[in-house]
Structure 1
C-alpha cells in the first residue's frame, strides 16, 4: 500500500494532503476498489515514515468525504461512495456547461475558468 502513496518531504504541500489526495485519486479512478482494506494508521505511517497523526488526518478527511469507512476494530475500507464520485463530477460538469451556455459564455472561456479554479 505505501508503495502507491509517496510523501515528498520537500514539497510545500502538507504530508496529510499528499496522502489524502493520492488515496482519493486512486479511489476515484478505481485503482483502490470498493471494499479494499487499508493499513492501520500506525502501519501506514511507519511505512511512509511520517507521524501517525498525519495519516489519521488524511483518513478522517477521506471519511468525511465518504470515500473511506471505518468499521471499528475491523479496520478502514474504501467506501462505496468512491464509485459515485465520478458520476457526481460528470453531473456537476454537465450542469456547469448548461449554466455557462445560459450566460452566453463561450465554452473555451468556460474551460479557462475551470482551469483557473483548479489551479487556484
Structure 2
C-alpha cells in the first residue's frame, strides 16, 4: 500500500481519500489487513492521531473494520468501483497531468458537470 502526502488538504483527509481510492480501485481487497495506526504514522511521518482519525472516518463509512487483537482490515462489504469507472478516472488523471491540470481543478470540473440527482 503506497500513500503519499502532498497538496493542501489535511493529512488525515489525504490518508482517508487515498485508502478509499485503493479500495475502490480494487487494489485493497476485502479482509486485507492495513498497517497499524502506529506503523502507518511512522511510515508517513505524521502523528498517530492523524492516522487514527482517517481510520475512524473510513470505519464510519464502512470501508474498514477494526477489531481489538485482529487489527484493521478492509471491510467485507466494501465494494470496488466498476472497472469502467476506474479506467475512465485513470484516463482523466493522465490527460489532466499531461495538460498540467492539478487534482483540485479536475475535481472541480467533475463537480461542475455532474448531473443533479433526479427527483423522480
Q: Write 1 or 2 for the structure with the bigger share of helix.
A: 1
For 2:16 and 2:32, locate their aligned partners in 1 and report how far apart those are by CA, in whole Å. Answer: 16
Q: How many residues align?
A: 89
Is 2:53 the counterpart of 1:57? yes
Is 2:32 the counterpart of 1:17? no
Find the counterpart in structure 2 of residue 80 from structure 1. Answer: 76
For 1:75 and 1:35, locate their aligned partners in 2 and report how far apart those are by CA, in whole Å. Answer: 10
For 2:113 and 2:50, locate their aligned partners in 1 and report how far apart those are by CA, in whole Å. Answer: 27
RMSD: 2.1
Pick one of 24, 27, 33 that aligns with 1:28.
24
For 2:17 and 2:64, locate their aligned partners in 1 and report how far apart those are by CA, in whole Å. Answer: 13
For 2:35 and 2:74, locate their aligned partners in 1 and report how far apart those are by CA, in whole Å. Answer: 11
Structure 2 unaligned residues grouped into runs of 5+? 86-108, 115-120
Find the counterpart in structure 2 of residue 46 from structure 1. Answer: 42
Is 2:65 the counterpart of 1:69? yes
Q: What is the TM-score with the length of structure 2 in the denominator?
A: 0.67
- Decide which structure has the larger Cα Rg and report it: 1
Find the counterpart in structure 2 of residue 105 from structure 1. Answer: none
For 2:27 and 2:67, locate their aligned partners in 1 and report how far apart those are by CA, in whole Å. Answer: 21
For 1:79 and 1:24, locate their aligned partners in 2 and report how far apart those are by CA, in whole Å. Answer: 11
For 2:12 and 2:43, locate their aligned partners in 1 and report how far apart those are by CA, in whole Å. Answer: 14
- CA gap of 1:60–1:117, structure 2 versus 1, over 3 A, is farther
> Moved runs in structure 1, 4+ residues, more than 6 A?
none
Q: What is the TM-score with the length of structure 1 in the denominator?
A: 0.67
